[in-house]
Each structure stands twice: as structure tokens, then as C-alpha cells.
Amino acid sequence: MKKLTVNHMSFKQLNSLIRESSDNVFELDDVHGQRFIAAGMKNKKITIKGIPGNALGACLDLGSRIYVKNDCQDATGDTMNEGEIIICGNCGDTAGYSMRGGKLFIKESAGYRAGIHMKAYKNEKPSIIIGDTAGSFLGEYLAGGTIVVLGLNQNGKCPVGNFCGTGMHGGQIILRTDELPNDLPKQVVTRKAKKEDLESIKEIINQFCDEFSFDKNTIYNANFYILEPNSTIPYRQHYTTI
């Protein structure tokens, strides 16, 4: 395990150190907003103390794990391919943009536009789990994968902002709440979660609880709704040929 005190090292230097080292496990101390940490990283694990800058774990690859003890900023997990990113706090806007695989767990809240255009392919089933709330435009253009918002501090109130799921055409958004958002587009269809639905996400929820020491019973003992694309009403511009 290699310990690095980052301070005001440039992101280029930091990433280079990680990439070229023969070590596979790192503990980064005193991180101060360096961008692109672990971009494209493969088969390495990092723990971060301090606030990582934008685009943490962008294009993250197989076998990687990033554990952040604080908040992180915008574009976390941008175009993530595989691996795990665990944030013990909040994350900024546009987390998990175009995520293709792996897991992004956020203990508290995510900003606007989380999980835009997340997509699944063959064995890749990306997932984002957010402990408290997510801002507007969650899962915009969602093409595949699973987003779960648990609303742990919301007492059953809707844990997402406006325009949730706009442009969704694949995948699932699962909300732990008593009230659904009141501005869902007609291209999204909702239903109460059945036992099979919860079974299918049990593994990732359990892992989420273990990471942050949440009580599993509290989580499961609540209402869950499933949001899915309505295949009968696709997004379609009304064209007429000339």
C-alpha cells in the first residue's frame, strides 16, 4: 500500500505517479481539488481524504475501486466503464454521465443531472445508488442500468427534483418514497415495486448498506416505486416529408 500526501501536486503528476507505480493500493491524503484522479485507471484501488476535483474516476476500468471519505465534485465517474466509486458524502452535478458498467455509490446527495445516458450492454449492468436526494434531470436520456434513490432523510417525501427521467428510453429508476414526482413525462411509466424488483437490486443495496453502515431493515421497510420507459409512447418529433 502506498501513501501519498497530495497537497498541491498537479493532477498530471498525481495520475502519473499512480499509473506508473507498481503498487496497486493507494491512500491519498490532503487531496485539494485535483481533477481527473484515476482517469482510465485499471486494477488499482485508491482511498481519498480531502475533496477530489472534477471528473474523479472518469473512464474508470475493470478491477478499480475509489473510496472517498468526503464530498466529491462534478462529473464523478464520467463515462465510467467498470469498477467502483464509493463517496462518503455528496457529489456534484453530472455524476456517472454515460456510465457503462460498475457501481457509483453516494452516501448523501447527488447534484443535478446524475446518471445521464447511462447504458447497459451485454454483461455490463451499471448502477448508481444515492442515499438521500438527487437534483433535477436525474437519469435524463437513461438508456440502461439502474439508478436507486433512497431518500433516507426525506421521511417519505419525493427524493428527486424536476424533470426526472426525461428522455428515458431504457433501464430503471427506483425511488424509495411515498410520493412520486408530479412532472414525469408521459414517456415514463411507474408502478409500485414488486418482490421480484427488490430481489433484483438486493445485492447492490446490501453492498451499499455495508459500505456506509446503514441498517438494512430500515431501508427495505418502505415504499419503493419503479420508473421505466413507456415503450408505447416513444419520444418522437412529428415529422412530415417534403
Nearer to another protein, 5 or 43 (CB): 5
Q: Report residue 16 as a C-alpha cell.
A: 502519473
Nearer to another protein, 184 or 193 (CB): 184
For residue 240, the minimal CB distance to another protein (Å) is 7
By CB under 8 A, is residue 112 in contact with another protein? yes
- How many of the other CB atoms lie within 10 Å of CB of 4? 18
Nearer to another protein, 34 or 81 (CB): 34
Nearer to another protein, 121 or 235 (CB): 235
Angle at 141 between CA 136 and CA 145, to 5 degrees: 100
Q: Binding string to another protein for residues 23 to 62, with x set by CB under 8 A, is what?
A: ---------xx-x--------------xx-xx--------
For residue 236, the minimal CB distance to another protein (Å) is 8
- Only one of the segments 77-85, 96-104, 105-113, 188-196 lies at the binding site for another protein (rule: CB under 8 A); that segment is 105-113
For residue 79, the minimal CB distance to another protein (Å) is 18
Q: Report how far apart, in Å, the C-alpha atoms of 120 and of each of 58, 126, 237 are.
A: 17, 6, 25
> CA 22 to CA 54: how far, in whole Å?
26
By CB under 8 A, is residue 115 in contact with another protein? no
Nearer to another protein, 2 or 49 (CB): 49
Q: Report residue 175 as a C-alpha cell.
A: 425511488
Contact 28, 68 (CB under 8 A): no
Give the total of residues touching another protein (CB under 8 A). Answer: 35
Conformational region of residue 187, where left means phi above 0, alpha means psi within -120 to 50, and beta covers everything else? alpha
- The percent of the chain in helix, strand and coil, each rounded to the nearest 5, is 15, 25, 60
For residue 153, the minimal CB distance to another protein (Å) is 14
Closest by CA to 219, choosing from 186, 185, 177, 183, is: 177
> CA 103 to CA 35: how far, in whole Å?
20
By CB under 8 A, is residue 183 in contact with another protein? yes
Tell me which residue has cell 453530472. 94
For residue 90, the minimal CB distance to another protein (Å) is 7
What residues make contact with another protein under the rule CB under 8 A?
A: 32-33, 35, 50-51, 53-54, 70-74, 90, 92-93, 109, 111-112, 135-137, 140-141, 161-163, 166-167, 182-183, 185, 235, 237-238, 240
